[in-house]
Structure 1
Amino acid sequence: MNLDSEPINNGFIFGKKKLHNDIILVYGKNYNLGSNDIVLEHYITVNNPDDLFMGLKKCLGCFLDETSTLGPLERIHKQSNCLVKLRIEDVYFLENYLHSHAMIIHETDSYIVPDIIQSHIESNIWHEHNFIIEPMFFKQDDIRLNIFDSKMQKSTHNCIEKYVKKEKFNKNLTIEKLNVINYKLIQQFGEQIFVYIDGSVINNGTENIDGIASLHFYDKDHKLIDEFYVNIEHWISPSKAEVTSFILALIIVHNISNVEIITDNEFILNYFNEIICKTEIYNTRKLLKTQNNIYIWALIRQFIDLNEIIIPKITKTKAHDDDLYHNFLDQKIKDHYSDRNRVYSVNFNFFQLDKIEYMLTWNNIIIEKPIRRFIRYYSEILNLEKFFNLRRNRKYTIDSVEWAITFEFLKENENVLQTNFHTTKLRLYKIKNLIEEIPTVEQRKLINFDIYKDWKCPVCERKKETFGHVWRCYSNRKKMRNIIYYSIICLIEKIKEYDIYTFDEAKIIDLFINESFGEVKVNNNKLTFVDIIKGLFPKLLADFLRQEIKMTKVHLFETGVKFLDFVFDSTHKIWVERCDLQKDKEKSLGVTKEDKKHYSYDNNIVKKDINHKVYQKLSWFIRNIVIFSIF
């Protein structure tokens, strides 16, 4: 392609042209300038509207051609296939008229105008056009947008302007883009329109979670009309990405008939049909019981109740099937994770909901989950924060422990609606074991100092009995080596039970030999086997099972819990034997239960402060859990 960057004599211009009852934009060059009108030599655009340049090619003749209706003074000697007459007040400069930077492509007799985005130019023109027609629907683009004028907001009949929130201190490019797409669809003049929608999430369950919703619009011949990509913010999940694309499709085509929306999400299809068919009164109580995306579905329900949209046809396509257009949409979403220049941000105006007077928020973030579930999650997170904030847990960073397996191990497979004394007692011991609160001699000294101040380990009678010493005691060394060996065997056998995984057993054994969690030590910086005894499953081991062996989430959980149960049962026997020795010693020295009820304390113990470094880490962790629903 031969590009000539020498300036062209005159720059490109464009203007508004009335066609029937609609207004369209026409691009071209000045052909003849009159006192009140201007004749354009028509050029058509050959670029994507969101490209960082404009491609213009001379029109060879179209329905806009007015050559036959022009007077003799308006037709000059220059040959042209398509001439369009516009009013001067409706014409705009696309670039500097005297110093054009457009480049000629000689092979195709077309031009490239750099550094101009067609969609931005057109959205500004339509914004000005709408302002001229209905100026009362617009506010000053300044700080006064902070004042929410509900009467003016609710007076508009345009679903886009009504339900997509205007942002402060910008040009509302999202709303302008949605209006441009809506206008392009209107130009199909009732012909069939296909809308493909989808959404996806990457890095699910981590603080790096990210989501994009996407819409592709096609005409009756399945030629792409436009595309739209939106970033998902707060409460990111695959379901939110899908339903966001769906509500945007409904908003964009709200005033257009003969539309078919194609989705691979069966829940959206069924739930939308359920909303259409139900005639019962829907109050706030029922609204807040919606499983997810509460307010988005409330808006969709309001569209139906108030007849604000033309209900389109919804079609379900099989996910990841041979649907060419849906697969193309999937691929484009993946591409946009690395190219965010054309991904918009959309905030819906939930204050337009008639059925609810206020929004439930957390840190100014609207709670989109059922409130009871959110409160439960929030309480669990606060309790986790308290646990992390204990000084003894300062080494348990977010990345060192597979907490999901640890919590599953603590649950003891008990039915949610049932309880019994055995599992309650067992879970209580597991929790005490986790927080190192089992009654070792050093632990008893904290409340019965006068009795135990000179006592040593009841097994070896040589060293102080801390939680770590129980397992590192010289008398238990051989037992602990056997427990580590057989726990590895238990792990390997559990993986073999599934009979679908191929793996090298030696790699698992080497992992325990080379990593710190295979050693019976007390380490303030690294995870050791003592931490596994407490019920903490190493993240490094979980990653190995997940990435090297390719275990599924369910199998990983079952294997991890089985491994921790084996370690717990084996080490619990050591603790029971130790307790028997302790009881015999107390009995021989005449220590009774009544004696233990008389508390005494060591006056030399210094009270330790809160570990603020851990607290700061947890504050960040909790914020991400609540916003991104990591659990």
Structure 2
Amino acid sequence: MIKGIKDAQFIEEFLMLHRNEVYRQSDLLRLIDWKISLKLNNINQYDILFEDHYLQSFRIKICCNELPTCANLKKRKPDLYDENWRCNFCKIEEETFDHFWKCSKIQNVVQDILKRLKIFLVKIIQEYSRDDIDTQELKGKINEFGMWDIGCLYDFTFLMKNQVSCQLIELLRCYKITEEKLLYKVLKQITGGVLLEFKVLIWEPRNGLQIKEEKRCGISGKDKKAKSHSKRTEVGVKDVGCNILESNWNKWNDLAFHRGGH
């Protein structure tokens, strides 16, 4: 009983963090199949291959808004990163995870990712469905998804967080992709593919630009690892350790999943 109370307190505290504000939006919650999404997270947590562990950690940082974007770096180390640090691509807007998808300088990359994801969805459904498929009809159904509208309540970037829409699940079931192991196999390929595209085509080029700018400003690796002593550090902002962050995220998924989701 005591353990149950502590678990409930942990879930409540975790959900009340500002970075987890998304989970308190009732309209959004209804668009996501949480039972499947939470199980997908649990599968990734326990069945992950060693070589995929970095990608899983990368996913968790996105889920918890802990990627070292300029917006986060300014909060963690204001003595190194002042207010002039902006998006590494456009040099104008605040650099956040959400901004990357709207950044004017990389819209061609974003549109290529969207295009390839649509093609991949058609291909994977054709591969695993037991139905004879009308390809044009399938393409039409995929194009009708609301998630292609970047910035809407639920867009395709949620797939990187293993948060799968009810609309996508309904489409897979419509084409007889219903057997549990097969369903999760297909979903892991979809969510993993989107995550890898972002990492390779946007995040890694961004890191290259960030390193060049840091060198120009005389910021060394030693400086970045040093603890910030600036009085401008925001109250409550912590440079969360990767292991602690991952542990808390996995624990939350564990508890939420075994209690039937949201």
Residue of structure 1 equivalent to 2:30: 399
Distance 1:508 1:575, change over 3 A: farther
Give aligned-pair identity as a percent: 21
CA distances 1:542-561 after superposition (whole Å, capped 9, x unpaired): 12322x22321323222211
Instruction: Describe how 1:409-448 pairs up with structure 2 within 5 A.
Output: 411-412=43-44, 415=47, 420=50, 422-448=51-77
Distance 1:501 1:435, change over 3 A: farther
Instruction: Describe how 1:66-215 pairs up with structure 2 within 5 A.
Output: none
The separation in 2 between residues aligned to 1:445 and 1:410, in whole angstroms, is 33
The separation in 2 between residues aligned to 1:477 and 1:489, in whole angstroms, is 18
Q: Relative contact order, CA 8 A, sep 6+: which one is greater?
A: 2
The separation in 2 between residues aligned to 1:580 and 1:485, in whole angstroms, is 25
Other structure's SS at 2:218 match: coil
Q: CA deviation at 1:442?
A: 0.2
* Aligned 8 A contact 2:23 2:29 in 1: no
Matched, 1:408 2:40: yes
Of 140, 149, 152 in structure 2, the residue corresponding to residue 519 of structure 1 is: 149
Of 544, 549, 552 in structure 1, the residue corresponding to residue 178 of structure 2 is: 552
Q: CA deviation at 1:624?
A: 11
Residue of structure 2 equivalent to 1:465: 95
* Aligned 8 A contact 1:458 1:581 in 2: yes
The separation in 2 between residues aligned to 1:486 and 1:445, in whole angstroms, is 34
What is the one-letter code of the residue matched to 2:63? L
CA distances 1:455-489 after superposition (whole Å, capped 9, x unpaired): 11111111110111122211221111111111121
Gap regions ≥5 residues in structure 1: 1-361, 364-374, 609-621
Which has the larger share of strand? 1
Residue of structure 2 equivalent to 1:584: 212
TM-score (norm 1): 0.33
What is the one-letter code of the residue matched to 2:71? E
Q: CA deviation at 1:383?
A: 5.8
Matched, 1:474 2:104: yes
Distance 1:630 1:536, change over 3 A: closer
CA distances 1:583-623 after superposition (whole Å, capped 9, x unpaired): 111012110123222413646x5779xxxxxxxxxxxxx89
Gap regions ≥5 residues in structure 2: 238-254
Instruction: Describe how 1:7-22 pairs up with structure 2 within 5 A.
Output: none
Other structure's SS at 2:75 match: coil
The separation in 2 between residues aligned to 1:623 and 1:520, in whole angstroms, is 28
What is the one-letter code of the residue matched to 1:518? W
What is the one-letter code of the residue matched to 2:81? Y
Which has the larger share of helix? 2
Of 154, 168, 172 in structure 2, the residue corresponding to residue 541 of structure 1 is: 168
RMSD of Structure 2 on Structure 1 (CA): 3.5
Q: CA deviation at 1:447?
A: 1.2
TM-score (norm 2): 0.74
The separation in 2 between residues aligned to 1:407 and 1:488, in whole angstroms, is 24
Residue of structure 2 equivalent to 1:185: none
CA distances 1:289-308 after superposition (whole Å, capped 9, x unpaired): xxxxxxxxxxxxxxxxxxxx
Residue of structure 2 equivalent to 1:256: none
Residue of structure 2 equivalent to 1:77: none
What is the one-letter code of the residue matched to 2:99? H
| Greater Rg by CA | 1
Q: CA deviation at 1:394?
A: 2.7
What is the one-letter code of the residue matched to 1:438? L
Q: CA deviation at 1:414?
A: 5.5
The separation in 2 between residues aligned to 1:594 and 1:536, in whole angstroms, is 36
